[in-house]
Amino acid sequence: MKIPALVATLSLGASALAAAEISHQFDTEFSLTSGVRTDLGHDRSGDVAGVSTLVREVASIPLGDGPLLRVGFDWQRFSFALPSRAPLPNTLQSLSAVVGLDLQVFDSWLIRIEAEPGFYSGSGNFTTRDFNVPFVIGGSYIASADLQWIVGVSVDLNRAIPVFPAVGVRWKFADQWVLNGVMPRPRLEYLWSRELTLYLGGDLRGSTFRVGRDFGDSHGAPKLNRAVVDFTEIRAGVGASWKVSSWLSAEIEGGVVAYRDFDFHRADENYQSKNGGAYGQLVFGMKF
């Protein structure tokens, strides 16, 4: 399941509304995971290692004195090193547009409506059958400068759970401590300085993809031809975020892959991790 960072970027949208000027957010991420013991069916298991890459750029454009128009693109790719004859795709990737609106309601509410129409493929190629339009609707209630409540819902008709709700809170409960309990990356943050933040948290990542028309035949399971697969990964780790300048930030993070799942829910096939593996990642963000 892919839950776009709707709640994590609501504060950026609020700032852009106040500034009444075009702003850009560019993010890129590179992540490595060690081999994770995974069920391969028929009493088989094997280690599955992975590499994931994300590139996302979104521009926020004021529409007069009203809402913000959000437009951009998102590309994400998961590549896996698989045991021989494993009934799993070695590539999952998506390429989508980002189209949405930020609406300020009354003085304390910010509403986001955002869709990501695009291609969600379980192979190295994109076809028209891979097209899908997941979307999110979320709201942030600003109770005070130190406390914001967040609610949202993610909708993907191809997913096993088509409608996925989320509730979160961002609470600065002490001078140097922030509970950033916002999906998909809840964190407990320690503000070491104005430039450096240390954190402990989790990461729920994944999306829904469609594998190729011959995928099942090539893996000895014809019912998986053109099947839809939900990929889910849950991580727990520690990291540091460094504000390099007013427009550039960098993060380094490492920890454990606590859970990984390839769920061909319509074909009634499911392959889960057996043991945790290690991961490390680098993230760079730019605002201008």
Domains and CATH numbers, the chain: 10-287 (2.40.160.40)
DSSP-assigned letter for residue 10? H
Alpha helices in 187-275, H assignment, sequence order: 215-218
Low-confidence ranges of the chain (pLDDT < 70): 1-20
- Tokens 């943050």 correspond to 189
> Closest Cα to residue 225, out of 169, 266, 258, 180?
266
DSSP-assigned letter for residue 67? P
Query: How much is the pLDDT for 84?
Result: 85
| Integer-rounded Cα radius of gyration of the chain | 20
Query: How much is the pLDDT for 56?
Result: 98
Query: How much is the pLDDT for 14?
Result: 45
CA–CA dist 22, 232 (Å, integer): 34
Query: How much is the pLDDT for 6?
Result: 42
> Closest Cα to residue 140, out of 104, 183, 110?
110
Give 80's contacts (C-beta < 8 A, 6+ positions apart): 48, 49, 50, 88, 89, 90, 91
Give the H or E element holding residue 15: helix 10-19
Specify the pTM: 0.89
Query: How much is the pLDDT for 26?
Result: 98
Query: How much is the pLDDT for 64?
Result: 85
Give 160's contacts (C-beta < 8 A, 6+ positions apart): 230, 263, 265
Query: How much is the pLDDT for 124?
Result: 85
Torsion angle (degrees, nearest 10) of CA 31, 84, 126, 266: -100
CA–CA dist 205, 260 (Å, integer): 10
